Amino acid sequence: MDLFVEKIVERKKNIFDYMLIFSIFFFSLFLASLILLVIGIDVISAGLLIVLAYLAYYLISLRKVEYEYAITNGELDIDKIVAQRRRKRVFSAKCRDFDVFGKLDSEKYNDEVRETPQKIKAVTSMNSEDVYFFTANYKGSKVLVFFEPDERMLKSLKPYISKKMNSFS
């Protein structure tokens, strides 16, 4: 019997996202005013304003990021979804190959784990209470992955993680 569990989480916007959205919006307003002052109100300026509005909408929508976790028969795949248009695989590995697994606030998250050079933050926010982490090899290097599994995912992970790591604390 195949096991398949998935979850989608949306990344919360941070201050950088809001500053970028604010900048895009006001730069678009500035360009729209400039177009109207230089060209005036005619068909060309209307076309340019429509293109400018679409471009601003497109750039702002790129700030919506979601992560999809999928566990299929002991393999965890994490995809990054940008603006519900583009999907990119950011991580994939067998759960048995995890080196360390635990909750972010546990003693397993020690200095050795923190110093892992490559990190993948596939979470709503690093301040969330439900953030778990694990380390594994991905594309030839050690990676520290942060994610937010729900109870179903934790139960489906448990048989695949070795006995020394199955405390989930």
Cα–Cα dist 42/69, whole Å:
49
DSSP 26-66: HHHHHHHHHHHHHH-SSHHHHHHHHHHHHHHHHHHHTT-EE
pLDDT value of residue 105: 83
| Number of neighbours of residue 56 by Cβ within 10 angstroms | 19
pLDDT value of residue 162: 62
pTM of the model: 0.83
Q: Which residues contact 119 (CB under 8 A, 6 or more apart)?
A: 143, 144, 145, 146
Cα–Cα dist 147/161, whole Å:
16
Phi, psi of 12 (to 5 degrees): -75, 140
pLDDT value of residue 28: 96
pLDDT value of residue 141: 87
Cα–Cα dist 80/9, whole Å:
10
pLDDT digits (tens, 9 = 90+) for 109-137: 887 888 888 999 999 998 888 899 999 88
pLDDT digits (tens, 9 = 90+) for 82-115: 999 999 999 999 888 888 888 888 888 887 888 8
Cα–Cα dist 93/100, whole Å:
13
DSSP-derived 3-state class of residue 163: helix
pLDDT digits (tens, 9 = 90+) for 64-84: 999 999 999 889 999 999 999
Q: Which position has the token pair 């599994």?
A: 149
pLDDT digits (tens, 9 = 90+) for 149-168: 999 998 888 888 865 454 55
Cα–Cα dist 53/116, whole Å:
42
Residue 143 C-beta-side C-alpha neighbours within 13 Å = 19
Cα–Cα dist 143/117, whole Å:
7
pLDDT digits (tens, 9 = 90+) for 30-66: 999 999 999 888 999 999 999 999 999 999 999 999 9
pLDDT value of residue 4: 87
